[in-house]
Structure 1
Amino acid sequence: MKVAVLSPVAWRTPPRHYGPWEQMASNLTEGLHQAGIDVTLFATGDSVTASRLSSVVEKGYEEERNQDAKVLECLHISNLMEQAASFDLIHNHFDFMPLSYSRLIKTPVLTTIHGFSSEKIIPVYQKYNRDSHYVSISKANRHPALTYLGTVYNGLDTGSFQFSPSSDNYLLFFGRIHPDKGTAQAIQIAIKSKRRLFIAGIIQDEDYYKKRVEPYLNDDIQFLGAAGPDLRNELLGRAIALLHPIHFEEPFGLSVVEAMLCGTPVIAFNKGSMPELIRHGNTGFLVNDVEEAVAAVGQLEQIDRHTCHEWAKTRFSKEKMVEDYLNLYHQII
């Protein structure tokens, strides 16, 4: 079986910091390669993979901002589609644009839908629903107008995360600094529960950061910026809990799984995929507002960190994801 994995070209695959779609394309590619599958990764030229790499774009447009994103995307997608006959299956991690080629080639296309940026993109998915195959990354993120071949949860390289049996008694916010992610609410939870808070992530909304985050920074509430793998593991592993007060129907939460792999429970607003990722009262708490989150902070002692680790390792590993996708590949081929 020869498989082409199409990654986005906003960031490197795998990303240096942010880039969840690129991270999943990388995890899948490396997992397929380790499983003995003949796989080619289509990504930026600076991407890192043990498999074959095909690229016509050297660096991601979010990392070199002088590039035109649409031009790079067109060059990148067409590079794969012009080689489509060389593969038994194309696994698309690049949203809806590659679907416009799907009726022009004979190779089947499987698209992992990582989320919907807007209802306005649904007509494209609807148009190719009968000719293509869709996979959701959580049951919560399924659109009622579409038909899905299955649900495959994102899988992480569990060996990259170190289990920590104890914590340093601080709370952690790990993610984009954006209203959707609830950074401001995480700050309020920390203040009301009288706990230290570390904030790590890229600033995606500068105005939000200036008005809702920066004024509260002090010795007890610290912004650390983007965190690479080493700092990420240290922060996640030593936290007493990850705060995830999201304000949107999140399709999946990589930081939620990453925290649990390190043994750290998660306190999350009960939206989107959170009930599928967190076992309430067992690996964390699902809450509805800041006050309930503050109450949950007071109940963290009842959570066993090893249970968090085992839950995430069993359910959200790279190996489990690869196994589930291979089952779908065989159905299609």
Structure 2
Amino acid sequence: MRVAIISPIAWRTPPRHYGPWETVASLLTEGLVKEKIDVTLFATGDSLTSAKLRSICQAPYEEDKAIDPKVWECLHISEVMEQADEFDIIHNNYDFLPLTYSGLIKTPMVTTIHGFSSPKILPVYQKYNATTHYVSISDADRSSDLDYIRTVYHGIDISNFPFNENKGDYLLYFGRIHSDKGTWEAIQVAKKVKMKLVIAGLIQDRRYYEEYVQPYLNDDITYIGCVSPPEKDSVLSNAYALLHAINFNEPFGLSVVEAMACGTPVLAFGKGSMPEIIENGRNGFIVSNIEEMAQRVKDVENISRKLCRETVVKRFSQEKMVKEYIEVYKEIVNK
């Protein structure tokens, strides 16, 4: 089977720091290669892969501001479509834009919907609903207006996340610095329980950071920036718990799974996919507000860090994700 994987070009595949869609595209690509699938990855020219790499945009547009995103997105996607007949299936990890080419090619396309940035993009998905195939990344992140071939949870390379059976002495916030992700809420929880809080992630909303995060920074509440993979492993594995006080319906949440892989339990607001990932009392707690999250911090003592990791091994491994996508490919091609 010949598979084309379309990865975004906002960041390198895999990303140096931030880039969840590029992370998943990379994990899938490398996993498929291990399964002896003939894979071509369409990504930025500086991407790293054991598959065949094709690129039209040499650097990520988020790292090189001289690159016009719209121009190079169009060139990137057209590069795939103009070579579509070389492949048995095209796997789109680049949102709705590649769908607009799908009626012009014969090669079947499957699109992993990594989340809906806005209801305004739904018309594109609706137009191609009957002629392409959609995979959701959680049951919660499905639109009633669309049909889906399957839900496939993201998987991670568990070997990259060291297990630490010892509880740390700080709470952790790991994710975009944005009101959606609840940075301010995590700070309030840490203040209530009088524990140290480490904040790590990309500042996506500068004004939010300056108004709701920066004023609270001190010796106990620290912002360490956007961390690279080795630093990420350390900060995740040495935490007491991850605080995921989200204010939106999280489609999946890679940082939640990555924390649990290190043995770190997660306290999360019960929005979006969180009830599908977190089992109360086993690998963390689902809560409703800041006060309840603060109350549950002490209960983390009773959670087995070993069980947190076992949950990820069983449900969210790279191998499991790859196996399920191969089944999806076969189902589509056999039609």
TM above 0.5, one fold? yes
TM-score bracket relative to the smaller structure:
over 0.9
Distance 2:63 2:205 in 1: 17
User: Is the partner of 1:139 in helix, strand or coil?
Assistant: coil
Task: Determine the structure 2 residue equivalent to 1:265.
Answer: 265
Query: What residue in structure 1 maps to residue 182 of structure 2?
Result: 182
Percent identity reads 59
Alignment of 1:314-325 (within 5 A): 314-325=314-325
Question: 1:68 is matched by which residue type in structure 2?
Answer: D
Deviation at 1:298, TM superposition (A): 1.3
Q: Which amino acid aligns with 1:236?
A: L
Q: Deviations over 1:153-190 (max 9, x none)?
A: 00101110000000221100000000000000000000
State how far apart, in whole Å, the 2-side matches of 1:244 and 1:317 are.
21
> Per-residue displacement from partner, 1:257-306 (whole Å, max 9, x unpaired)?
00000000000001000011111111000001000000110111110000
CA distance in 1, matches of 2:145, 2:273: 19
Deviation of the 1:47 alpha carbon = 0.2
Counterpart of 2:53 in 1: which secondary structure? Answer: strand
Determine the C-alpha separation between the residues in 2 that align with 1:313 and 1:239.
20
Which residue matches 2:217? 217
AA aligned to 1:18 is: Y
Q: In 2, distance between residues paired with 1:156 and 1:200?
A: 19
- Runs of 4+ that moved beyond 6 A: none
Task: State the alpha-carbon separation in 1 of the partners of residues 297 and 172 from structure 2.
Answer: 12
> Quick check: 1:3 aligned with 2:6?
no
Give the equivalent residue in structure 1 for 2:12: 12
Tell me which amino acid in the other structure corresponds to 2:14: P
SS of residue in 1 equivalent to 2:204: coil
- Match for residue 131 of structure 1? 131
State the SS of the aligned residue for 2:77. helix
* Alignment pair present for 1:49 and 2:52: no
Q: Residue by residue, what CA displacement relative to the aligned partner does 1:212-260 show, whole Å, maximum 9, x if unpaired?
A: 1001100000000011111111111010100000000010100000000
1:2 CA displacement: 0.2
Deviations 1:70-91 (A, max 9, x none): 0010000000000000000000
* Residue of structure 1 in register with 2:308 after alignment: 308
- Counterpart of 1:252? 252
Partner-residue secondary structure (3-state), 1:102: helix
Aligned to 2:207: 207
In 2: Cα distance, 1:48 partner to 1:152 partner: 24
TM-score, normalization: structure 1?
Answer: 0.99
TM-score by length of 2: 0.99
CA distance in 2, matches of 1:21, 1:301: 33
Per the TM alignment, residue 65 of structure 1 is displaced from its structure 2 partner at its CA by 1.1
> For 2:121 and 2:207, how far apart are their aligned partners in 1?
27
Which blocks of at least 5 consecutive residues in structure 1 are unaligned?
none
Matched, 1:238 2:228: no
Deviation at 1:314, TM superposition (A): 1.1
- Measured in 2, the distance between the counterparts of 1:159 and 1:314 equals 14
Mapped partners of 1:110, 1:124: distance in 2: 14
**Counterparts of 2:314 and 2:71 in 1: how far apart (Å)?**
41
Q: Distance in 2 between matches of 1:65 and 1:193?
A: 42
2:281 maps to a residue whose letter is G
Deviations 1:11-53 (A, max 9, x none): 0000111110000000000000000000000000000001100
1:25 aligns with 2:25: yes
Say what the alpha-carbon RMSD is for the aligned residues. 0.5
Give the residue type in structure 2 aligned to 1:173: Y
Deviation at 1:6, TM superposition (A): 0.2
